Structure 1
Amino acid sequence: MKRSGGIKVTAAIAAAGLLAVCSVLAINRESAGPDAAAGEPPLLLPEGMPIVSKPVELTFLAGKAATSASDWNEVMLWKHYAEKTNLHIRFRLAPFESIGEERRLALATGSYPDAFYAARLTQPELMRYGKEGVLVALDDLIEQYAPNMKSLLERYPELRRSLTMPDGHIYSIPSFYDPDFLSMLIGTPLWLNRNWLEQLGLPEPETTEELYAYLKAVKQTDLNGNGAADEIPYGGLGINVLIHHVKGAWGLGNRGLANPFVDLDEATGRLRFIPTDPKYKEVLEYVHKLYAEGLIEKDIFTIGSSEFYAKGTQGLYGSMVMPSPYTLMNQSGYVGSPALAGPHGDKLYSHVKAPLVHVGAFAITNKNQYPEATVRWIDYLFSEEGSKLFYMGIPGESYEETADGELRYLPGIIDNKDGLTIEQALTPYVTWLGGSYPGFVRQPLFKGSESLPESVEAARKVKPYAVKEIWNPFNFSPGTLGTEINSYVNNTQAKFITGDLPFSDWDKYISHLKMIGLDSYMLLYNEAYQAYVKAPASPEGLQQR
């Protein structure tokens, strides 16, 4: 009996060991793809570089900013990384202005790529296409092949919570900013023309009325001395960025920008739909006054980035909301605006992004025959060494590292002999320009405009008034109801500002929102909020859910 029991135990152990070996072999066979031949070394390498033992080609659909290179396949970063990893990525680019349409079309028709890169997948898309199996669940892959991402999730439990969809799975790699990197979370300060302030003898505005007075003075004065009334008091890409900057002066937006229309009414402890609040009407009335008096660029609703940056290089703007006048326009005479106080004494700086900026910055599809290798590929870019490569490019080509470890771009980029801006000079080397990329952005390794002294100083000025509790995006899908409400709010907002719709129609605007289904929308939003605040942050708790 004893001998028989020993044989059984030994057999069980042997079977367990054989099962483990078979599991590892299965992973390598699956990663190897259909062309793997018997007797060849495994295609997927468990660590180090290269990632795969022979060249593999994948296709990514990627969102592209106007400031990045027109062909990423020729950018030095990706050429170098392909040689390093043996994974050759063919980037299929779509401008950010149309990436949503391209992405939706690809998913709807089944013509989607091996992965989506900087393609701005939404929570509803992650939920739907993850559940349908179009997007690959990354939980186990992160655990086995992504030590950097795994470490990030352990360090920031709220990040894991926000990435985890209601079915308990993670389907995407995010664009995540260091929560302590405030100038990065602000991203686009309200910049004021310091030279023009000095010419006018005005201090930096501290209130909304002082900002109005400054813009009015810019309109009425030939500050560039060319004899033409071509000064533009305020300019930016669209009107929403200005609204987000001033609404805090009315106490609105107290949970940051990730949920732009919803915050918390701290008097009641309930969710508030900002665009129906009486104070929001006052915000729109204020912006309407600026627009009606010619203090806002007349083409604010239609101007493209190229035209905006071109005007900026001519030094025409008195104020702007943008990442950096220096890096994008070669303009050095601007300072960040202080937090503004409003008519009721509110002084909240609400233009602060959530650290989880893009939940769907990267996702792998079921067409990808090498998901393990692809996860290793993206995870390296979250490491210290990979971040240097991604943000700085190639040492000796685009940047240098000083003896004390400081990273800095080479003189040909900082002070380009052809007069290129920093971002223009960087386009042959890197592709992070314009944002939305998957990665962990932290100050020592990121040398974009948000790390410049004037950007850090702008953040320092507003820090005492900045939003203290920032919500990440909620994981819910309001469907066509959400689309209809957001579209109506944005369209009506523009009409109020231009004067096409009088403010005497405000009550009609509220009634129409209720008719569309605002109450139902807010019930859905509240369910998502309750799940957000109550959701467990540990992987064990998520699995139990």
Structure 2
Amino acid sequence: MKHRLVQISAALLLSSMMLSGCSETNVIPEKTDDTITMDWYVNYSWFVTDWGENMVSKEITDQTGVDVNFITPIGNETNKLNTLIDSNTLPDIVTVGWWEPQIKEMIDSGLVYSLNELADKYDPSFYDVTSSKVRDWYTLSDGNIYGYPNSSYTPEDVLNNDNIAPNPTFLVRKDIYEAIGSPDMSTPENFYNAVVKAKEMFPEVDGKPLIPVGGHEFNSDGCVSFDQYLQCFLAVPYEKDGKKYDRYTDPEYLTWLRMFRKLTSEGYIPDDVFVDQRTQTSEKIEEGRYFCMLYQRTDMADQEKILYDKNPDKIYIAVDGPRNSKGDDPVLPVNGIAGWTLTFISKNCKDPERAIKLMDYLMSEKGQKLTYLGIEGKTYDMIQGKPVLKPEVKELLSSDREAYNALYGADNTYWMLQNNVMQLKWQTELDEPLKQMSEWACQYAAYVGQYEVYINEDSELGRIYASTRSLWGKTLPMLLLARSDIEFDNVLKDYLEQRQKLGYDKLAEEETRQIKINKEKLGIE
């Protein structure tokens, strides 16, 4: 089916792709005889890949004369970033999520360069390798753009490409699903019956209890599996009659939550689901202990490969799951124009000229091809005009991602400025079992960038936003753990009353205002 523009939450946009409209200009900075080392701060504790040992990073250094020393937080990302800002010790280059409140502080305090001024002074190719629409989106009232995103999509990208795969998927364990008759699970009743039957037929898997329903971890904001992803599958809109729509009180959504409450009260959603962190969930996926999940396909790719190697019949597959009472297709989000992360050049940068040239090189077609495919003749060959990974490279990529990163460093190991739309022209076909999940997701891809709103954390609205999110984070597990529908309704009533007192109407009004502006900027009716 053709991709479409839809109404859905921008908060879903935690998963991973890039922009269009860029020129195919190849940018190779004019090298100097010396190689300089740039400190690059990446605000994610899980990013542990080094620079300088694998093929791709060595080639980038050879092409640009820039070596990179990555700095990542140990533990809490927010604390680390705040410390760097407060002490004015930001490294040369900085990559953080576009939504982080510290971005405003970095800009207002003059801690980062405007990229357009660096481009004008040192390297005008910046304007060739970046998208004018994305630049406009991130240009502030002072006329400057300070950070550039990765993983950004425009509405045209989604409309014009049918091979863009969103991350949210409804997954079932293949052998169990087939054993119970491959049932339709699109209605609350059918979903409930399928879960009960799966547990009855398979009380244990490999000597451990089957977990009939799983999802992402619960945190202070709720759980994306049981709030935002479920709303996606039910095609709950984010706007009605020109105003922000309250998806959390949508009747279709609440009907499904009540069904999940019933499953929980009867023991089909065990306590583990409410307390497990990602590490524990990943271990249980690798053991095949879940029957079904609302989950991001890329987050379980490594575990899926392990399951496939053990037994291809015991993998997880994507199937049509929850739908609204009209049977509408799911609307699964890809990233919007804001992207995923923003990369800045700090005023502490030892050589801003070489920093902007490094960024431009990485965003050029040459840089994108290198970071995606690697080096021709070493990691891939061009066969009949198409890139084909060498067998040993493909094998390592599918079997041991950490070893692949250490040896080759391609396939967006260095994702900070990735442009997935540009990379579509070189896209290599996924192997099973990941191929099935990706192809299933493509048909439901939707653009939602018009609903990306920014609320200043230090403002009154910011405090309202934080308080309402925290309130929902406490309420969702209470709803699912309610012992009866009456208790469920009482919890919901209390939530709505508390939310109103916190100032929810003011927040909704501001979100409506920003959505209107976003739609005008994007040219969306």
TM-score computed with the length of structure 2 as normaliser: 0.77
Answer yes or no: is 1:245 the counterpart of 2:229. yes
1:491 aligned partner: 474
Q: Please give the secondary structure, in 2, of the residue aligned with 1:91.
A: strand
The residue number in structure 1 matching 2:146 is 171
Partner of 1:458: 440
2:319 equivalent in structure 1: 337
Which of 507, 519, 528 is equivalent to 2:493?
507
The residue type equivalent to 2:386 in the other structure is E
| Cα distance in 2, alignment partners of residues 272 and 337 from structure 1 | 28
AA partner of residue 280 (structure 2): E
**In the alignment, does 2:170 pair up with 1:190?**
yes
Map of 2:312 onto structure 1:
none
**Shift in Å, 1:75:** 4.4
Q: Tell me which residue corresponds to 2:281.
A: 308
Q: 367, 382, 397: which is aligned to 2:348? A: 367
Q: How many residues align?
A: 467
Deviating runs (4+, > 6 A) in structure 1?
A: 431-436, 448-451
Partner of 1:272: 245
Residue 393 (structure 1) aligned with residue 371 (structure 2): no
1:469 Cα deviation (Å)?
5.6
How many angstroms apart in 2 are the aligned matches of 1:90 and 1:468?
35
Deviations, residues 5-36 of structure 1 (Å, cap 9, x unaligned)? xxxxxxxxxxxxxxxxxxxxxxxxxxxxxxxx
Q: 2:60 pairs with 81, 89, 99, which one? A: 81
Q: Deviations over 1:100-119 (max 9, x none)?
A: 332233223323212213x2
Partner of 1:519 in structure 2?
Answer: 505
Cα–Cα, structure 1 residues 367 and 412, in superposed 2: closer, same or farther, change >3 Å?
same
| 1:230 is the counterpart of 2:209 | yes
Distance 2:44 2:429 in 1: 17
* Cα pair 2:40 2:92 within 8 Å, conserved: yes
Structure 2 distance, partners of 1:205, 1:334, is 15
- Could you tell me whether the CA contact under 8 Å between 2:455 and 2:462 is conserved in 1? no
Q: 1:91 aligns with which of 70, 94, 98?
A: 70
Quote the Cα distance in structure 1 between the aligned partners of 2:261 and 2:410.
37
* % identity of equivalent residues: 17
Are 1:146 and 1:375, in contact at CA under 8 Å, matched by a contact in 2? Answer: no
CA contact (8 A) 1:408 1:447 kept: yes
What are the superposed Cα offsets for residues 432-457 of structure 1, whole Å, 9 maximum, x if unpaired? Answer: 77997322113334559699531342
1:134 corresponds in structure 2 to 111
Look up the equivalent residue of 1:241 and give its one-letter code.
S
| CA displacement, residues 202-243 of structure 1 (integer Å, 9 cap, x when unaligned) | 2453334333332222222228764x3522223333231343
* Aligned partner of 2:416 among 437, 442, 455: 437
Q: Residues 163-209 of structure 1: CA distance to partner in whole angstroms, max 9, x if unpaired?
A: 23344432111123453356655124222222222222224533343
Mapped to 2, the partners of 1:212 and 1:65 lie a distance apart of 38
Residue 212 of structure 2 contacts residue 290 of structure 2 at CA under 8 Å; is this kept in 1? yes
Q: State the partner residue of 2:23.
A: none
Contact 1:200-1:217 at 8 Å conserved across structures: yes
**Alignment check: 8 A CA contact 2:335 2:449 kept:** yes
Q: CA deviation at 1:264?
A: 0.3
Alignment of 1:10-29 (within 5 A): none
Distance, in Å, in 2 between the alignment partners of 1:486 and 1:116 is 28
Aligned mates of 2:279, 2:73 — CA distance in 1: 17
Q: Which amino acid aligns with 2:513?
A: E
Once residues 267 and 140 of structure 2 are traced to their aligned partners in structure 1, the CA distance between those partners, rounded to angstroms, is: 46
Residue aligning to 2:291: 318
Deviations, residues 298-322 of structure 1 (Å, cap 9, x unaligned): 3334433333333222222322313
Contact 1:208 1:340 in 2 (8 A): yes
The Cα of 1:531 is off from its aligned counterpart by 2.6
Taking CA–CA contacts closer than 8 Å with sequence separation of 6 or more, which of the two structures ends up with the larger relative contact order? 2
Contact 1:354 1:471 survives alignment (8 Å): no
Alignment match of 1:358 (pick from 331, 335, 339): 339
Aligned with residue 403 of structure 1, among 361, 383, 401: 383
1:134 Cα offset (Å): 1.4
SS at structure 1 position matched to 2:450: coil
TM-score by length of 1: 0.75
Are 2:192 and 1:212 aligned? yes
SS in 2 for 1:381: helix
Q: Is the partner of 1:444 in helix, strand or coil?
A: helix
Shift in alpha-carbon separation, 1:184–1:201, aligned structure 2, 3 A = same
User: Given the alignment of the two structures, is residue 382 of structure 1 paired with residue 355 of structure 2, yes or no?
Assistant: no
Contact persistence 2:37–2:67 (CA under 8 A): yes
C-alpha separation in 2, matches of 1:467 and 1:294: 35
Q: How far 1:409 sits from its partner (Å)? A: 3.8
**Residue identity opposite 1:312 in structure 2:** I
Which amino acid is 2:65 matched to?
N
**Which consecutive unaligned segments of at least 5 residues does structure 2 have?**
1-25, 218-222, 309-314
User: What corresponds to 2:135 in structure 1?
Assistant: 160
Is the counterpart of residue 202 in structure 1 residue 182 in structure 2?
A: yes
Deviations 1:253-289 (A, max 9, x none): x3xxxxxxxx202xx2211232344544334323333
**Counterparts of 1:106 and 1:222, CA distance in 2:** 52
Task: State the Cα distance separating 1:141 from its structure 2 match.
Answer: 3.5
Contact 1:288–1:497 (CA under 8 A) maintained in structure 2? yes
Which structure has the bigger radius of gyration?
A: 1
Measured in 2, the distance between the counterparts of 1:148 and 1:364 equals: 14
> For residues 130 and 407 of structure 1, do their structure 2 counterparts lie closer, same or farther at Cα, with a shift above 3 Å needed?
same
Aligned counterparts of 1:183 and 1:301: Cα–Cα separation in 2: 34
Within 1, Cα distance between the matches of 2:426 and 2:203?
Answer: 39
Query: Equivalent residue for 2:515?
Result: 529
Distance of 2:281 and 2:257 partners within structure 1: 23
SS in 1 for 2:69: strand
- 1:309–1:50 Cα change, 3 Å: farther
The aligned amino acid for 1:527 is R
Q: Give the Å deviation of 1:92.
A: 0.6
- 2-side partners of 1:391 and 1:347: how far apart? 36
Q: Secondary structure at the match of 1:206?
A: coil
Alignment of 1:106-117 (within 5 A): 106-117=84-95
After superposition, the C-alpha distances for 1:109-157 in whole angstroms (9 at most, x for unaligned) are 323212213x214264333422331122122445663636645423xx2
CA 421–248 in structure 1, closer or farther in 2 if over 3 Å, else same: same
